Structure 1
Amino acid sequence: MVTNGTTGFTLRQGGLLLALALGWGLNWPIMKMVISQVPPLTFRGFCLLFGGLGLLFLARAGGQRLRPPAGQWPVLIWLALTNILGWNVLAIYGVSFLPSGRAALLGYTMPVWSMLLSALWLGNHLTPRRLLGLALGGLGVLTMMGMELLGLAGAPLGALLMLGAALSWAVGVVSLKRFPVAMPPMALTGWLMLLGGLPAALAALVLEAHRWQMPDLGPALGLVYNVFVAFMFCYWAWNRIVLTVPVAVSSLSSLLTPLVGVLGGMLLLGESPGWGEFLGTAFILGAVATVVLPERRG
């Protein structure tokens, strides 16, 4: 069920949000480690296929019907192309050109695009509070990037790939609200991952098979983490949140994830973010607060 009238989170949704921030945020440095030994399309195709199959298995074990509703295959394919394939493929190539923390920041400009698209496409009203959250969130991301602009000029392809990934994800998020599919989130997410993973896996078979080798323990554990945490759990949790709160709420609240990505890059990869990232933390937390804290009612 899609909820349109609330601007805050229930306790359960707040818990899912925190789990998402940790699960997806820590995955940015983990992805950087995995692609040092696993080709990008192989990495994404493997995780999407096995993650999708795992979710469908769990959905079936839970008594959910797996067959999509009649006539909604075109919608499923569109959602898979934008939410899954476009975001994952562009992001994995983008992170190969950039530090993991910076890539996460650029990828999570998604709320800016989804907020504007939801106003144009869904007719969502941008209340003063949501506009304030959007402004704070955008200012936070820009502040974090501020001292890195010269560095980005040295890696324009990586920056463009990450911004393209963010736009693809935003289109997918708004499409999920615009064209709801009458399926439980777990079964829906499983199908989207399978449909998005098949093209990536086929492309990997053609383009990367000659580079396949057994990864070391660290990248291998990173693959396992991606299948079970970043894909099976986090995608299910994200779709559940998107389907139950307004786009403005889910999108701005997702800005917590790049904060974890920046810290994870520092701890796991030894990356050294500048003062802009730390100053931007205050803006982003302020943006999240404008969305999560309940509004006063007369």
Structure 2
Amino acid sequence: MSSLSVTEKAQSKGIKMLLVAVLCLGLNWPGMKLGLEIVGPVWMVCLRFLLSLPVLALFVLITKKRLPVLNRKDRSVVFVVAFFQFILSMGLITVSLQYIPAGTASILIYTTPLWMLLIDTLWYRQRPPSKRLILTGISTIGCAMILFASGQPGAWLPLFGMLLASALWAVAIRRVSFHKWKGSVIEAVFWQFTIAGFAMLAIALMVEPTPNFGAYDISDWLLLAYIGPVATGLGFGLMVAAGPKLPPDKIVLISTLTPIVGYVSSVLLLKETLLPMVVAGAILMIAALIVNGLPQSTLKKMLGKGQAK
């Protein structure tokens, strides 16, 4: 078998894995909105991570033939990501989701390019290229359109809570971008979920009443099973596993389907109002995200094909 056919098979497998991950994570937005009707937001985050641990452990067992191990040289970044992305950011997302539509939230969390630009410019004193400045400006306009369309009385604070959650997520992304992993990424995710899950359990026991799990019916448990093991465990696991099999441009294109799935599924499943300005803002944000993430060579090929036609 030629090396080309092996690569094509690996990419095909990676695309399928990433598409399943996108579907799981996108559908999780209406799932979390429904879940907040049966459990508090802090308990939601806690259960989401703790219930997904067996799935991630199984990923490691299948791929590494052992249980998850935390590499000593990865500890600092594991703790940083667990704190900023999975405790602070995910906590803010879930608290804010109580008060705003799930579809709107699924789009706003993808304002990370704006925060990445601010982090790189203000903290690392970098001079971003004009392409990045223009596309981030377009994304910001799209974000502003969504905010103005969704900014009903009482909704402004949770809307800004989503933006702050996105900023904290950007901090975690930038920290990871400077790190060279010594262990596997899937094992790092397992330990990040472990740290975040037990930290949120301690907070939940202090600030929220303990859920009456004995009174839950089968539909409640199925919903929690989807939010935890399926969406979070399987979704994140497949996304991490698909990464090495695919070039960056394909990962960018497929991953940007997540907020689209989140918005459309929220409209269909939760009967959320389809606001034209939110749709227009989402199109601007997602288009800017795609173009900003694609390599220059890929953009030239796409433009070349368009001109050839």
Alignment map for 1:256-295 (pairs within 5 Å): 256-290=257-291, 291-292=293-294, 294-295=298-299
Match of 2:61 in 1: 60
Q: Percent same amino acid among aligned pairs?
A: 23
In structure 2, what is the Cα distance between the partners aligned to 1:226 and 1:156?
Answer: 26
Larger CA deviation: 103-112 vs 124-133: 124-133
For 1:166, the equivalent position in structure 2 comes to 166
What residue number does 2:203 align with? 203
Unmatched tracts of structure 2, length 5 or more: 1-10, 305-309
Deviation (angstroms), 1:29:
1.1
What is the root-mean-square deviation of aligned Cα atoms in Å?
3.4
Aligned partner of 1:176 in structure 2 is 176
CA contact (8 A) 2:22 2:254 kept: no
Structure 1: how far apart are the matches of 2:22 and 2:255?
Answer: 7
Larger deviation, residues 11-20 vs 132-141 = 11-20
CA drift at 1:183: 1.8
Q: How does 1:25-64 map to 2 (within 5 A)?
A: 25-63=26-64
The CA deviation string for residues 217-258 of structure 1, in whole angstroms up to 9 with x for no partner, is 443222111222321122234556788999999789755432
* Residue in structure 1 matched with residue 4 of structure 2 by the alignment: none
Whether the aligned pair in 2 keeps the contact of 1:185 and 1:239 (CA below 8 Å) is yes
Residues 1-298 of structure 1: pairs in structure 2 closer than 5 A: 18-63=19-64, 66-118=68-120, 126-149=128-151, 151=152, 153-213=153-213, 214-239=215-240, 254-290=255-291, 291-292=293-294, 294-296=298-300
How many angstroms apart in 1 are the aligned matches of 2:283 and 2:125? 30
How many pairs are equivalent?
287
Kindly name which structure, 1 or 2, has the bigger radius of gyration based on alpha carbons: 2
Does the residue aligned with 2:265 lie in a helix, a strand or coil?
A: helix
Q: 2: CA distance between counterparts of 1:261 and 1:280? A: 15
Alpha-carbon distance, 1:173 to partner? 1.0
Moved more, 52-61 or 125-134: 125-134
2 CA distance for matches of 1:84 and 1:240? 19
Q: For structure 1, which segment, 241-250 or 111-120, has the greater mean C-alpha deviation from structure 2 after superposition?
A: 241-250
1:72-116 deviation line (CA, Å, top 9, x unaligned): 323321121112111211111010111111222322222321244
The 2-side partners of 1:32 and 1:105 are apart by 15
